[in-house]
Amino acid sequence: MHPLAERIQNKDERALARAISYVENDHPEKLDLLKDIHAMQKKAHYVGLTGSPGAGKSSLVNRLITYLRSLNLTVGVVAVDPTSPFSGGAILGDRVRMSEHFTDPDVFIRSMGTRGSLGGLARTTKETVRLMDAFGFDVILIETVGVGQSELDIMKIADSIAVVLNPGSGDVVQVFKAGIMEIADLFIVNKADLPGVPKLLSEIDSMLDLVKHDAPYRPPVVQTISVQNKGLEEVWGELISHRAYLEESGEGHERRARSLKQEVIEVVHYELMRTLLLKEEKGGFQWVADVQDGSLDPYTAAEEILERWNKNQDGKE
């Protein structure tokens, strides 16, 4: 067994932090470590929280952690921060808001910057969640900023997905367009003391009539005022009910199967791409100049790369 996996099994938080760094930095021992921790997973409740910036997700997550700790549940948090495409630095506002939990040994918070990674972030986040599960947290909260494609990919690992909205923001249409309506299991109307709540509730209802009219499970809507700790009990109650529904209906089993299938394909895709790019790098990317001067089109160049790859593979057999 990998030494880090052994230490994670023994609840060593520093080992967990280092293992997540292995995953983020694509350490050569990463796959060996992930293989070892796979059998150690304890089936934590994965809860995804998404929604547009400014919806109050971080404050809500912060209060939800406090509420879960009052129930004596241990909590792991993965906060996906937007990264500046210029400096590469993440804003890390979540870490500031959640700072009161840093001294609690039963709460582990990790911020992950998007770093402009295409698809890589979703894989890295999933692997981080797996490591936290192996460590033994009862609940793992995955918080993302925004409602784009990468958020959808990240959310696919969650058992229960909550979309956080607030009145007067016009978010519903945005969420509907992004396709998050289809994957939402719970809607949280945060800042519910602001004007415009009835209008927002009727908008959500209309959208649900459209998208979920024949679905076996209609996502409930909960109103919260996170700064006053209002509605947190209802949020957790709905998440527990949803998990029970997943188990009883068999949908949880189907979701996990889909998620694992996707995970395997992602690992294969990444490893193949890495190998292929290293080979092309060794060849000095000779086709770039031809594509640039117009003597070769990008599609023929791609075909030639694939042909070289296939010949290589045939030669190995």
What is the rounded (10 degree) CA torsion for 131, 136, 138, 144? -10
CATH architecture of 41-250: 3-Layer(aba) Sandwich (3.40)
Do residues 5 and 133 make contact, with C-beta atoms less than 8 angstroms apart? no
Percent of the chain with pLDDT over 70: 85
**Residue range 171-204, pLDDT digits in tens:** 666 666 657 777 789 999 988 888 888 888 888 8
d(CA 46, CA 132): 10
**Residue range 14-61, pLDDT digits in tens:** 999 999 999 888 888 998 999 999 888 878 999 999 887 777 888 899
- Closest by CA to 117, choosing from 80, 91, 143, is 80
d(CA 63, CA 229): 7
Please identify which residue in the block is written with the tokens 């076996």: 216
Amino acid at 197: V
Q: Would you say the pTM of this structure is higher than 0.75?
A: yes
How far is it between the farthest Cα atoms of the chain?
69
d(CA 13, CA 7): 8
Identify the three-state secondary structure at position 314.
Answer: helix
d(CA 16, CA 18): 5
Q: How confident is the prediction for the chain on average, in pLDDT?
A: 83
**Residue range 145-156, pLDDT digits in tens:** 765 666 677 777
Question: What pLDDT, on a 0 to 100 scale, did the predictor assign at position 91?
Answer: 47
Residue 261 tokens read as: 């299938």
Question: What pLDDT, on a 0 to 100 scale, did the predictor assign at position 233?
Answer: 94
Name the strands in the sheet holding 139-144, side by side, starting at the edge strand that comes first in the sequence: 107-113, 75-81, 139-144, 45-50, 160-165, 186-189, 221-223
d(CA 31, CA 23): 9
Distance set, CA 312 to CA 5, 27, 277, 278, 317 (Å)? 35, 26, 14, 14, 9
286 vs 95: which has the higher pLDDT = 286
Do residues 194 and 171 make contact, with C-beta atoms less than 8 angstroms apart? no
- Closest by CA to 45, choosing from 241, 262, 264, 217, is 241
Please identify which residue in the block is written with the tokens 């889909």: 258
Q: Residue ranges per domain, the chain? A: 41-250, 264-316
d(CA 287, CA 307): 14
Compute the Cα dihedral for 245, 250, 256, 258 and give only its sign. negative
